[in-house]
Amino acid sequence: MKKRVLLQVAAVALMGGCIASAVHAEDTIKIGLVLPMTGPFASTGRQIDAAVKLYLAQYGDKVAGKRVEVLLKDDAGVADTTRRLAQELVVNDKVAVLAGFGLTPLAFATAPIATQSKTPMVVMAAATSSITERSPFIVRSGFTLPQVTLGVAEWAAKNKIKKVVTLVSDYGPGIDAEKTFKERMLLNGGQVLAELRVPVANPDFAPFLQRVRDAQPEAVFVFVPSGVGSAFMKQFAERGLDKAGIRLLATGDVVDDDILNNMGDVALGVISSHHYSAAHPSALNKKFVEAFGKANNGMRPNFMGVGGYDGMHVIVEGLKASKGAGGEALLNAMKGQIFESPRGQVLIDAQTRDVVQDVYIRKVERVNGQLWNVEFDALKAVKDPGKSK
């Protein structure tokens, strides 16, 4: 008799527990944020994590009467880990959306999980053109390499630069940048004397810079991923390429705002094109840079931070429209969003799910004792030109 009562009590308690956790689950919307927080690309993770936290601090974490909860996971930049973490977030944590993805191979590895589980996947950092074609559930809030390379390639043509060498990291975004730059050069009557590809991990630029020097181009066009630009610039200066009259042209990844200020005079005058500079002269950006610095010991936001901040905007506004639902309802609510970002106006193209944005031409200048990418020209509302169809 006693035993039966106890069992009943236990059963009721268990049910109560289930109801309590069901209520709790109903009350929160989970975002699975997978980033390289350690390893060689930790600066990307640090920037995006800080931006996501800032967005929620500024705009609140309540959507459709529920609390937004971000589950941050560190993949250390290893694709197998990204895939495993994304799987766990979908199956165990039942996240409404996956987000982050610091490098192309990490986004590629996760795309099938988004498709199979019908979970929207917001790519905040990885920038190879074809990523959005890997799953109909992928939306991109950052940029693509073909998109940002156009600007500096057009600048080269306008400035009568005819002979160039390209030097890129040997994987998706580098190959996209190389291809776009070359196509534009040839179209504009220029010549590519050599196409150099350097390993992604721990690159030693010295032998490649020697080959650049030997080819005697007017300029070298460079792409390396965020964070790697410091090592590149150091070796560029050590090899004396700046003194040899070879002009450095780059995508903004090389003169990334996270590291630019520590590069020293070698960076002065570098022309790059990109979708975001911390020096972008809009009121919204000034507020963003100030708040980001205040919350992070003076850290300057870079383009990765903005990709994270805007990715949160796309997710939160999407959740408002879907009344807190994930899946296809959220995906559809993310398509076609237009908003003002710290970088300028941004559109999520409803057809491609990719980002359409202005691309700025910038020059590194010292302003009030600090190095900045000062924007001086822009291509308006650039769609990714790299899509296969």
Contacting residues toward ligand DHB, per CB under 6 A: 44, 103-104, 125-128, 172-173, 225-226, 253
Smallest distance, ligand DHB to C-beta of residue 39, A: 12
Question: Residue 77 Cβ, how far from ligand DHB at the closest point, in Å?
Answer: 9
DSSP 183-249: HHHHHTT-EEEEEEEE-SSS---HHHHHHHHHH--SEEEEE--TTTHHHHHHHHHHTTTTTTTPEEE
State the nearest-atom distance from the C-beta of 228 to ligand DHB, in Å.
Answer: 8
- Measured from the CB atom, the residue of 151 and 225 that comes closer to ligand DHB is 225
Decide whether 44 or 132 has the Cβ nearer to ligand DHB: 44
Beta-bridged to residue 73, according to DSSP, are 34
Q: In whole angstroms, how close is the CB of 24 to ligand DHB at the nearest point?
A: 36
- Report the residue number, 103 or 152, with the smaller CB distance to ligand DHB: 103
C-beta of residue 186 within 8 angstroms of C-beta of residue 156: no
Quote the CA–CA distance of 12 and 51 in Å, as a whole number.
44
End-to-end Cα distance, the chain: 73
Cβ 281 to ligand DHB shortest distance, Å: 23
User: Which token pair is 383?
Assistant: 């769609």
The alpha carbon dihedral of 138, 143, 145, 150 has a sign of: positive
CA distance linking residue 354 with residue 348, whole number of Å: 6
Give the nearer residue to ligand DHB in terms of CB position, either 190 or 305.
305
140 or 313: CB nearest ligand DHB? 140
Q: What's 277's DSSP letter?
A: -
In whole angstroms, how close is the CB of 106 to ligand DHB at the nearest point? 8
Q: What are phi and psi of 213, to 5 degrees?
A: -60, -45
When CB distances to ligand DHB are compared, the closest residue is: 225
Residue among 258 and 358 whose Cβ is closer to ligand DHB: 258
